[in-house]
Structure 1
């Protein structure tokens, strides 16, 4: 199952990439929401091989998420591969310079089952795909507007 959307942002591509690749800020935001984040690599600069484990409660159950940065091409692309409960997700963020002060952000998340149980979960998600797609699109749009307005603090991304 794939979710994708794009938004145009009235900022230079370098500024947008700096925010989406501020992994320390994203870790702190997840911790403020109650997740336990453990960094698994020892890289000093952002790049492929960065990895995290996150433990959090979702729908009353404790979950463990493993994520790894697989592609990091500033200021245009980053890809994160994640696994939770035999469900693998590949998140791709692409940036395109439209003008010196205008950037297009394209976000795609592709979910793939790795077990029968995960396949059943995806089948139930298919029933709500329209509603989930709208929530995904509105979240990316909200991020873009907050980034433009200078009010993004890393809590909703």
Structure 2
């Protein structure tokens, strides 16, 4: 019982700038921390690359959740992929970027969730039933993030 979400957005900014923002992991970690989450890097490296790994604890629906995220592919400025594991659910996420023009970039995001335990299957069952609403919400969040990113990049240019 796999649950899959996809979204595609065009951003009016050059490919290199979009990738640099999307791969600014320090800023992402700071944002998670500002929202009350705890994050720490758990691999031995300082540079970002394949094998970089982070652990996070955050509250969701009045319950503390823990997640481990590993960068599994890192091909600047075109692609990143991650595997995240939490509560018996494996989440695979992929971000692909394509330059449409010298000043416009298409971002494709694919998230695939797969339960690894029986309790995770039960946890995901309502998601399967509400897949349409969740897919719309996912698309909306990607669109909002893309517009915020576009605004940020065009104000600093």
| TM above 0.5 | yes
Query: Retained in 1: the 8 A contact 2:71–2:83?
Result: yes
Query: Whole-Å Cα distance in 2 between the matches of residues 22 and 83 of structure 1?
Result: 21
Match of 1:16 in 2: 18
- Within a 5 Å distance, the mapping from 1:128-147 to structure 2 comes to 128-147=130-149
Q: Which digits, 9 at most, give the CA deviation of each residue in 1:86-115, with x for residues without a partner?
A: 000001000011110011000010000000
Shift, 1:42, TM fit: 2.8
Deviations 1:112-155 (A, max 9, x none): 00000111122111111111111110111111111111279xxx
TM-score normalised to structure 1 length: 0.93
1:92-131 alignment to 2 at 5 Å? 92-131=94-133
Counterpart of 1:150 in 2: which secondary structure?
helix
Matches of 2:147 and 2:126 in 1, distance apart?
A: 31
| 1:43-82 superposed matches below 5 A | 43-82=45-84
Superimposed CA distance per residue, residues 2-45 of structure 1 (whole angstroms, 9 cap, x where no aligned partner): 00010011111000000110000000000011111111123222
The answer on whether the counterparts of 2:7 and 2:109 sit within 8 Å (CA) in structure 1 is yes
- What is the alpha-carbon distance in structure 2 between the residues aligned to residue 44 and residue 34 of structure 1? 24
Size of the aligned set, in residue pairs, is 152
The normalised TM-score by structure 2 is 0.93
Structure 2: where are the runs of 5+ without partners?
none
The 1:56–1:115 alpha-carbon spacing in structure 2 relative to 1, beyond 3 Å, is same
CA distance, structure 2, for counterparts of residue 21 and residue 121 of structure 1:
30
RMSD between aligned residues: 1.3
Structure 1 distance, partners of 2:58, 2:100, is: 38
For residues 46 and 22 of structure 1, the distance between their equivalents in structure 2, rounded to whole angstroms, comes to 10
Equivalent position of 2:91 in the other structure: 89
The question of 1:40 aligning with 2:79 is answered: no
